Structure formats: C-alpha cells, structure tokens
Amino acid sequence: MVNVTDAARAILARNDRGGYTVPTDGLYPFQWNWDSAFVSMGFATFDIDRAYQELERFIQGQWNNGMFPHIIFHVPSDSYFPGPDVWQTEQCHSKKPMTSGITQPPVFGIALRFLYEAVLVTGRHDMLERTHTLFNAALRSHRWWLKARDPDKRGLVAILHPWESGSDNSPAWDEALARVPTTTKTEICRQDTKHVNATMRPRNIDYQRFTHLVEVYRECQWDPIKQWSHAPFKIADVQMTAILARATADLIWMASQLNLSDALEELFTMHQLLINGLNSRWNQHIRGFVSLDLISGKDIEKPTQTCFIPLIALELDSYQRKSIQEEIERWCQGMVIGIPTTAPFSPDFESKRYWRGPVWAVINWLIADGLRKNQLKELAAIIEGNTISVIERAGFCEYFDPITGEGLGGNTFSWTAAAYLVLRRRLTGD
C-alpha cells in the first residue's frame, strides 16, 4: 500500500518550483498568498529549511506599503487569467517579481509561529536572522491591514474583492457582488475552465464582475485611500478579521520569544481592537459570526463557513460554544464529509460548485483549530479524522463534495497535501 504521508510529501515536491510552491500544476501556476502559508506548515513537518524558504520567496512580492499580494508571478505563464498585464501593479513594488493588486487571508503570521515552534524543537540556533526578517515583513503587513482596510477603526478589516476572501464565489458575497457592473474594458480569457469542469467553477457573470473590480482599483493606481473611497464592493469580513486577529496573537508570541518589546506593545493594541470588533459580530439567529456590508450597511446573514472561523481568535462564552457546536453538527448531518462551506439547508447550497458547498481541507483545519482553542476537542478530532479519511479515499483534490465524498476541482493540490501532513501528525503523532 502507498504510504499516504509519502504521497503528500511527493505532491509538495512535484509542485515545488524552486523554493516556492504552486497550488497545483496548470490551473494555478504561480505562488498564492494563503496557499503558501499553509504549504509552509506542511513542509515544516519534515523539512524546516524548505518551510522557511516558502515564506522567504513569498515576501519577495511584498509591496512598498506593506501589503502582501494575493499572487506572486515569479515566472510568466499563459495558463491563468488575469495575468500581470491586466493588474499593472509595477509602481507598487520597487523590484520584481510581478504581483496581483489585491491581497488574501493573512495566514502568514500563523505559519511563522508554527515554523518557529518547529525550529525550537530542533534546537537550531542558525534560524534567528531568517526569523527576524520574516517577522518584520509580517508586522509591516499587519500595519497595512489596519491602516488600509480599517481606516474607521471598527476592529474589522474589509475586503474590496471577493478573491481577497479566498472564498471567491461564496454566497456571502452574492448580494454585494450583484451591485457591481458586469462591464469590462479587458477581454476576459478564462483559463480555469480549460482545466476544470465549468459547472464546478464560478460563472461567467461572476468573472465579469471580478474583472470590473480589478479595473476600478487599477484606475485608482492601487492607492489604498482612493480604493477605499471608490470601492463598489466593501465588506468587513469576519473570516479575514479572525485570521488577522489570530495571526496577531501569534506575532505577539513571536515578539515575546524574540524580545521585541516595542513591537509587543503595538501588537497588543492591534489585537485588542480586532478582538473587540469580532466580538461585536455574534449573531444569535445564525448561531455564528456575520460580516458587514459596508456599502449597504447590512449584516450578511448567509450561513457559510465564515461564521465559524472567529473561533480561531476568540474565547467564546459557554452559550456561544454550545450554539456553534450544535450548528456545525447540524450542517454535517447526512453528509459523507463535513464541514460544507455553505449550509446544506440553504437555498444557495451547491455541493460541487467551488465555495458554495464543497468541503476544503484547509477550512476544516482552521475550524478544528478554533474548536480546540475553545475546548471542543472531540468535535475537532472528528473533523480532523474525517478530513484525513476523505483525502485517503479521494486523493489530494482541491475540494470535496460533502454529499458523495468525491474529490473535485484541481488534482494534486499543495494545500490539501499540507493539511494532510499537519492534521495527521496532530492526530497520530507521525
């Protein structure tokens, strides 16, 4: 029998492009922001140098203003739309590589702590300088987040494009996205549907709106202040805020390990602001946390995985804990594999279409971490165990149909391999 751990490592090796990893061959031929952070944690289970390298290659794309872009185009490829010619971000960073103009969830800080913990276990002393460099890059990016994406100091950071959320076509964005015009100046040459069945992907009309938004921000010359005032799509997102808050807590841990007292104070202030913001988003009816549409002023009461992600940052009270536990169990009832990214009882649920129902290993990883943090260890272990089993049955697919357990989207996915390595180690110790 093939050893699945070896197979997971082989996926990472296969998607390695010389120090950075592509999410999968063909469909996503560059380095992606949060994919890379997850992947670095996968590498850290067996090769700490390579894990550091993943983050080091990633920060080469950091912007002068501190933003970590969502894609780093290290080498040209024509198998992805929109490429660097559409983004036109050259003025935002002094050196190559080319990048996209938006960001993605800041898992980087969480990964950095994970890597540094692995370093401490090995007792290696030669990683300190590398760790400092990565820490400084992370701190600059957190400052960018608060300044550019929470100028009103609500303690909630906003996304200006659905791609930033990492959950591109989630029903959570439907209403806000419907207000975005479908007109584009750019010719849309979708490449994704050449690799994957179109019924599993976002629709053409979604792509028109996605591209329209890119054009609006390009016309703002990627200036955060102009973007903030011109954005036709602006959502204070609880998933993003929770990941940032957790990453900030992890940077606090790092700063105390590295004896950086100035940074510590700044990070404490940031953390408290984000925790207060998140706590204000509890919604009794949804039994989870809800994002806020900053343009309509309305709460987004769609039951998607975002509602549970704040567990990774918050200490819930016992009522919230019980509600979330029951809600996750309800979503998973009758499913071959949970947690669906949209509740199966929702009219928006589609079991095979991208972020509208399918299960993603990295989302399960985050939610399981949040459950552990909130003393819901049994449920966490069930989710971790099921994630491992579905990967063993269906392979390292991009995502899984919760009703059938079938593997969907791209094959040989790096972050699915990373999730396998980390969750398996957590459960079995190997």
- Residue ranges binding ligand GLC (CB under 6 A): 23, 28, 32, 34-35, 166, 168
Min dist CB 107 to ligand GLC, Å, is 10
Min dist CB 168 to ligand GLC, Å, is 4
Closer CB to ligand GLC, 30 or 135, in the complex: 30
CB count, 10 Å around CB of 186? 15
Closer CB to ligand GLC, 32 or 331, in the complex: 32
CB count, 10 Å around CB of 336? 17
Among 16, 56, 117, 168, the active-site one is 168
Half-sphere exposure of 199 (CA within 13 A, CB side): 5
Min dist CB 359 to ligand GLC, Å, is 14
Residue 406 annotated among the catalytic residues of the structure: no
Closer CB to ligand GLC, 349 or 355, in the complex: 355
Among 293, 398, 401, 406, the active-site one is 398
Closer CB to ligand GLC, 32 or 135, in the complex: 32
Largest Cα–Cα separation, the chain: 57
Cis peptide before 105 (omega within 30 of 0): no
Q: Return the amino acid letter for 14.
A: R
Closer CB to ligand GLC, 32 or 87, in the complex: 32
Question: What is the rounded distance in angstroms from the CA atom of residue 220 to the CA atom of residue 226?
Answer: 6
Is the separation of the CB atoms in 57 and 31 below 8 Å?
Answer: yes
CB count, 10 Å around CB of 30? 26
Min dist CB 14 to ligand GLC, Å, is 15
Half-sphere exposure of 386 (CA within 13 A, CB side): 22
Q: Rounded to 10 degrees, what is the CA torsion of 245, 247, 250, 256?
A: -80
Min dist CB 166 to ligand GLC, Å, is 4
Is 17 in a helix, a strand, or coil? coil
Closer CB to ligand GLC, 237 or 266, in the complex: 237
Positive or negative, the Cα torsion across 93, 113, 56, 243? negative
Alpha-carbon separation of residue 225 from 141, 142, 174, 257, 414 (angstroms): 16, 17, 25, 35, 35
Min dist CB 271 to ligand GLC, Å, is 25
Surface-to-core class of residue 319, CB atoms within 10 Å of its CB (0-12 exposed, 13-18 middle, 19+ buried)? exposed
Residue 301 annotated among the catalytic residues of the structure: no
The residues carrying an active-site annotation are: 168, 398
